[in-house]
Chains A and B, each alone.
Chain A
């Protein structure tokens, strides 16, 4: 860069800060954009340094290309890395202006009218229930010493905790998308559960007021101190129209001695239209570290949206007797593609892991389970059980299973099984005969197929997720 340009950029930087409501970062990915984001978030110097380190590392990295779903090359210079919330004038003013299809889906999911408005991006006045709900909850949490706030706030108010744990599970030297996120993440959640505290409620981004506007590069950090417990819900439970093409979030979980984290996701981003046009690329890095003895991390995910889902929520089982679990339902329809699974890295003694994955593929979709179970030589008496089942609907779709099983310990015990099948005509006939129509029958059978995973979801999600399963597969049979 020439001297002149640098000067200009410096000017520009200060120019940004005036009005966050109406300005977005200039298009493109460069150091100035990183500085801009850090500045707008009023971050301390160390955070900016951290971001810049990630950015300089990014320059030497290449996008991974081993995944099954191929996609056109992303032009990283053609993206906005920070975009302020849309102004009130941009958003639809009433539900009449919202896509009727979307409303129909909301109704099917049984979402109350007020929430429908919020989810469609309609400016809602302060009477809206969940705002007050959120504040009452917040009071209760603070009483217990639980910190639950946006990560940008945590960087300012709890720098010690953030410094200690941010990047400790997903280092900034990780793969391309994780490093990209480290450089340009805009917001996300921060949770800290103090020693011995059992979080009295399910924490959810849903309660956070600005949740629906968080950017495409979220960063979540959850720390469960000794003997604590937390259950965290993530995601939007209704289809969200989103123009963003790339969604590259990072989620880090840290469980210390005897702590337990339960992380549930219901992901239903815009999957693109019937011909596979548009939709979100959901490239998320989720990783949890069971650092302490007897700790436990459990991932549950229901993936029904996104044009491409490419993620592997993983557990690093460092502490002795720690437990990792992964329950997943991945549904792909039309031209959706998913390459998802998990990694279980056993490092400590007597560590256990369990993987239950259900993949459903319909239309022209491609659904891949890819997983790694790695037992290192010190992980005595490690135990793993993996089951991945795939269901195919129609003969234009694909279902793939690619497990990697690496064992270096003679006392370990690993089991893996996988099956692939379709809904049989007999099953459908049986349901039809009892008065269910084709779609109801499919929804019933698929729900039965997924039951093992759905049971793991917290109550709030389970009902919606069940309905979602049915809706995602509408029109795929018959």
Chain B
């Protein structure tokens, strides 16, 4: 792998501090390289191997001059606010349903150029838990910074479009998204991915969310259209008193995706819900890694992940609940269920509990298996064909998670996208 960092660095010279961070981070990356399965957290996703096998000539994406995106990709019949990113760079935003005075949106590029602004987010360039994060710090040159003021609730969902076009082919794209919600504010947001012409690219994104007192953030990841992309998404959340973070992942599309969610419950009564479905076929490889850190009393977390694996696909769920010594009265729950429907597919799960407080209620469960023969017999005895019966069971199995979505409009949208996909799949 020969990433031409110096070239990138020279054409992106800016604040001295940032330049230093870039150089330092890239050095760290160079020492470690792409993560391999020897690293515990990458045990089931050998990224180095995957990249060498799929990218002959992976290059750094260095901004594109093209600012035109394909209008047809916008979701129709769904009232929403928009933020549009093309190849990781901020293009435009529209908040026609909202009071724009309450919303501050800036491109990360403009912030990286301003010393005062950059100082505010500098701390987020420090985290070097794995080499992908270091690489991101070194190569990020755009993204979005969104601040929502206190006491403001969004009227309509916000869709963050992540579009990719031909210029991204064989490139590694790095960006960061920052969202911060003030006290008592509310946001429902959809992270939506689409790429054109089935191009092959690697997207390395870091999201940082701050959810202040009494605020609610609902986030939906939609990764539904089958494409040839490779992704690593790391989401870090700081939750304060009485806040709610709700995350749903529709993990159907890309060749490779590793979603990491690190949620820190920092104050009383904050809660975190992570639900998701994976429906994989072909040789797709999806992984979800969650890390819910209960750092304070009376917090609640719950995770429900359901997966269906076909063909040669590979699914992984690595969930962790950490309960600090201070975090008494914690309520933590984790459940992973998987159906393996093909001889060549595999599912790995590692539901982990790390508990240092005694007055807690923590449990997890994990099951893996095939469709119950008796259920199929029951349906067939009522006149369904075997294929119909199978499909019905798979649909019902996954729909249980979609039912947990609390926003009715988003639920309809996700339901329809899911149905589209499941009708194409040969169960």
Stretch of B344-352, B403-411, B419-427 on the interface side: B344-352
Q: Among residues 388 to 441 in chain A, which have CB atoms less than 8 Å away from a CB atom of chain B?
A: 390, 392-422
Which chain A residues lie closer than 8 Å to B350 at the CB level?
A: 402-405
* Interface residue A116 (Cβ < 8 Å from any Cβ of B): no
Given A390-B355, A392-B358, decide whether A407 and B347 contact each other with a Cβ distance below 8 A. yes
Interface residues of A in 43-96 (CB under 8 A from B): 66
CB-CB nearest in chain B for A390: B355
Q: Is A377 an interface residue (CB 8 A)?
A: yes
A420:B340 contact, CB within 8 angstroms: no
Q: What's the least CB distance linking A411 to chain B, in Å?
A: 6
- Contact assessment for A410 and B359 in the assembled complex, using a CB-CB cutoff below 8 Å: no
CB-based nearest A residue for B338: A407
Q: Report yes or no: A401 in contact with B364, Cβ–Cβ below 8 A.
A: yes
Query: Among B341, B348, B354, B367, which residue has its beta carbon within 8 angstroms of that of A410?
Result: B341
Within 8 A of B (CB), among A361-411: 377, 390, 392-411
Q: Which residues of A contact B369 (CB under 8 A)?
A: 412-414
Q: Identify which of A377, A405, A409, A422 contacts B348 (C-beta below 8 A).
A: A405
| Closest residue on chain B to residue A362 by CB atoms | B358
Q: Given the complex of chains A and B, what is the CA–CA distance between A410 and B362 in angstroms?
A: 29
With A396-B325, A405-B368, A412-B340 known as contacts, the answer to whether A421 contacts B348 (CB < 8 A) is no
CB of B322 to closest CB in A, whole Å: 9
Contact A395 B359, beta carbon cutoff 8 Å: yes
B26 to chain A, nearest CB (A): 28
**Least distance between A349 CB and chain B CB atoms (Å):** 14
Q: Which residue of B lies closest to A68 (CB)?
A: B354
Contact B348 A411 (CB under 8 A): no
B370 interface hit (Cβ, 8 Å): yes
Residues of A within 8 A of B352 (CB): 400-403
A interface residue count range (under 10 / 10 to 19 / 20 to 34 / 35 or more)? 20 to 34
Q: Are A407 and B353 in contact (CB under 8 A)?
A: no
CA distance A422 to B368 in the complex (A): 29
Report B117-153 residues with CB < 8 Å from chain A CB: none
Residues of A within 8 A of B358 (CB): 392-395, 397, 422
B177 within 8 A of A: no
| A413 and B370 contacting across the interface, CB-CB below 8 Å | yes
**Cβ-based interface call for B60 (8 A):** no
Output the least CB separation between B329 and chain A (Å).
11
> A415 is contacted by which of B340, B347, B367 (Cβ under 8 Å)?
B367
| B357 with A405: CB separation less than 8 A | no
Q: Which residues of A contact B378 (CB under 8 A)?
A: none
* A407-B362 contact, Cβ under 8 Å, with A396-B325, A412-B368, A413-B368: no
Is the beta-carbon distance between A416 and B340 smaller than 8 angstroms?
A: no
- List of B residues within 8 angstroms of A397 by Cβ: 356, 358
Q: A406 and B355: CB pair below 8 A?
A: no
Out of A66, A394, A410, A419, which one reaches B363, CB within 8 Å?
A419
Instruction: Decide: B359 and A418 in contact? CB cutoff 8 A.
Output: no
Q: Which residues of B are found within 8 Å of A402, using beta-carbon distances?
A: 350, 352-353
Minimum C-beta distance from B260 to chain A (A): 18
Q: Smallest CB–CB gap between A442 and chain B, Å?
A: 13
Count chain A CB atoms within 10 A of each CB in B354, B358, B361, B369 and give the residue with the most: B358
A377 to B312, CA, bound (A): 12
| Residues in B whose Cβ lies below 8 Å from that of A415 | 365-367
CB distance from A82 to the nearest CB of B (A): 36
The 8 Å CB contact of B364, one of A377, A409, A414, A417, is A417
- Are A421 and B353 touching (Cβ within 8 A)? no
A407 touches B340 (CB 8 A): yes
- Contact status A398-B347, CB under 8 Å: no
Q: Which residues of B contact A422 (CB under 8 A)?
A: 358-360
Instruction: Name the contact of B346 in the complex, choosing from A399, A408, A419 (C-beta under 8 A).
Output: A408
B7 within 8 A of A: no
Q: Do residues A404 and B348 form an inter-chain contact, with CB atoms below 8 A?
A: yes
Q: Is the CB of B364 within 8 A of A418?
A: yes
How long is the Cα–Cα vector from A39 to B359 in the complex, in angstroms?
A: 57
A375 smallest CB distance to B (angstroms): 8
Taking CB atoms, residues of chain A closer than 8 Å to B348 are: 404-407
Residues in A with CB closer than 8 Å to B6 are: none
Q: Which B residue's beta carbon lies closest to that of A415?
A: B367
CB nearest neighbor in A for B357: A395
Asked whether any CB of chain A lies closer than 8 Å to the CB of B107, the reply is no
CA distance A393 to B362 in the complex (A): 15
Q: How many whole Å from A304's CB to the nearest CB in chain B? A: 20
B292 to chain A, nearest CB (A): 14
Which residue, A402, A410, A415, A417, has most C-beta atoms of chain B within 10 A? A410
Tell me the bound Cα distance from A420 to B358 in angstroms.
9
CB of B413 to closest CB in A, whole Å: 32
Give the Cβ gap from B99 to chain A, nearest Cβ, in Å: 45
A390 vs B348: C-alpha distance when bound (angstroms)? 23
Q: Which of A392, A394, A405, A419 sits near B366, CB closer than 8 Å? A: A405
Question: Which residues of chain A come closer than 8 Å to B361, judged between CB atoms?
Answer: 420-421
- Identify the closest chain B residue to A421 (Cβ): B361
Contact of B360 among A396, A414, A416, A420 (CB under 8 A): A420
A403 to B350, CA, bound (A): 5
Q: How far is the CB of A312 from chain B (nearest CB, A)?
A: 15
Distance (Å) between the CB of B295 and the closest chain A CB?
15
Of the candidates B341, B345, B357, B368, which one forms a contact with A414 in the assembled complex, judged by CB atoms under 8 Å apart?
B368
Roughly how many angstroms separate A418 CA and B349 CA in the complex, as a whole number? Answer: 14
A407 to B336, CA, bound (A): 13
Q: Once the chains are docked, how many angstroms separate the CA of A415 from the CA of B366?
A: 6
Contact across chains for A420 and B363 when beta carbons are under 8 A apart? yes
Closest to B335 in A: A417
| B370 to chain A: closest residue by CB | A410
Residues of B contacting A401 with CB < 8 Å? Answer: 351-353, 364
Interchain CB contact under 8 A, A400 and B345: no
B39-53 CB contacts (< 8 Å) to partner A: 40
Please tell me if the beta carbons of A407 and B346 are within 8 angstroms of each other in the complex. Answer: yes
The 17 sampled A-B contact pairs (Cβ below 8 Å) are: A377-B344, A395-B328, A398-B356, A400-B353, A400-B354, A402-B350, A402-B352, A403-B366, A406-B348, A409-B340, A412-B368, A413-B367, A413-B370, A416-B366, A416-B367, A417-B365, A422-B360
Q: 16 extra interchain contacts, Cβ-Cβ under 8 A, other than A403-B366, A414-B367?
A: A377-B344, A392-B355, A392-B357, A398-B355, A403-B349, A405-B349, A407-B346, A410-B345, A412-B340, A412-B369, A413-B369, A414-B366, A415-B367, A417-B365, A418-B351, A419-B363
Q: Which 4 A-B pairs have the closest CB atoms?
A: A392-B358, A413-B369, A416-B366, A401-B353
